[in-house]
């Protein structure tokens, strides 16, 4: 909500330097998230591009990706944030990757089945060896599909913010509201989400 809390509160408590994105340690992510709060539009655009390239690289999520999700949701929820619809678009990319609407209805248990049994420590080892370029030399983790684990983590973290997606359905910006409706379609609907979607649809203008 506008002005109620700092959407980046707690940013410094995340151990970004020990988390990894596609290019290695995610120590640059806090600066990118802060860039989304800039009053300068080119700075915001550059921050979105950098985040997309690091925690959503060509659709792949990484160890740091799920930690970005709560901050993107909080930024989009704050009406003082610039380019909120674009922030929600980035949130959608991090939470869902490159999944298309023709994959709906979505069953996360089936989609993320390969993530079962991959521990936090194993996923971290995969990230570190990928960054070092020596994953193939470590048989104990080289065969693990950590990317599915990281995608599952991002998705389930995104599922914790459906109350915000419901609120965004009522936003006057149709692009932001559209992104919210698209996000909600991927999660098991609750009563609030269904009521919000019905209200959103009933408020649409009737075609001539």
Quote the pLDDT of residue 13. 97
* Per-residue model confidence as pLDDT tens for the chain (208 residues): 444 589 999 999 999 999 999 898 999 999 999 999 999 999 999 999 999 999 998 889 999 999 999 999 999 999 999 999 999 999 999 999 999 988 898 999 999 998 888 888 888 887 777 777 776 666 666 667 788 999 999 999 999 999 999 999 999 999 999 999 999 999 976 555 555 555 555 444 433 3
Quote the pLDDT of residue 76. 97
Quote the pLDDT of residue 146. 85
Alpha helices in the chain (DSSP H): 29-35, 41-55, 65-77, 84-96, 108-111, 120-132, 139-142, 146-158, 162-168, 174-184, 191-202
Quote the pLDDT of residue 208. 36
- 140 burial type by CB count under 10 A (0-12 exposed, 13-18 middle, 19+ buried): exposed
DSSP state of 140: H
Query: Which residues, 6 or more positions from 154, have their beta carbon under 8 angstroms from its beta carbon?
Result: 61, 65, 66, 69, 94, 95, 97
Quote the pLDDT of residue 138. 66
């Amino acid at each position: 909500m506008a002005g109620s809390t700092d959407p980046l509160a707690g940013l410094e408590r995340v151990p970004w330097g020990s988390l990894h994105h596609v290019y290695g340690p995610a120590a640059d992510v806090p600066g990118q998230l802060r860039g989304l709060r800039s009053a300068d539009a080119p700075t915001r655009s550059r921050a979105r591009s950098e985040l997309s390239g690091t925690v959503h690289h060509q659709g792949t999520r990484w160890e740091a990706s799920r930690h970005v999700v709560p901050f993107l949701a909080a930024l989009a929820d704050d009406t003082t944030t610039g380019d909120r619809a674009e922030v929600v678009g980035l949130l959608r990319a991090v939470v869902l990757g490159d999944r298309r609407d023709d994959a709906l209805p979505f069953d996360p248990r089936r989609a993320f089945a390969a993530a079962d049994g991959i521990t936090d420590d194993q996923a971290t080892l995969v990230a570190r060896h990928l960054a070092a370029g020596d994953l193939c030399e470590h048989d104990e983790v080289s065969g693990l599909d950590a990317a599915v684990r990281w995608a599952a983590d991002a998705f389930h973290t995104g599922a914790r913010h459906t109350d915000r997606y419901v609120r965004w359905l009522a936003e006057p910006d149709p692009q932001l509201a559209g992104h919210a409706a698209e996000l909600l379609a991927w999660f098991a609907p609750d009563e609030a989400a269904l009521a919000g979607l019905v209200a959103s649809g009933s408020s649409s203008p009737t075609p001539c």
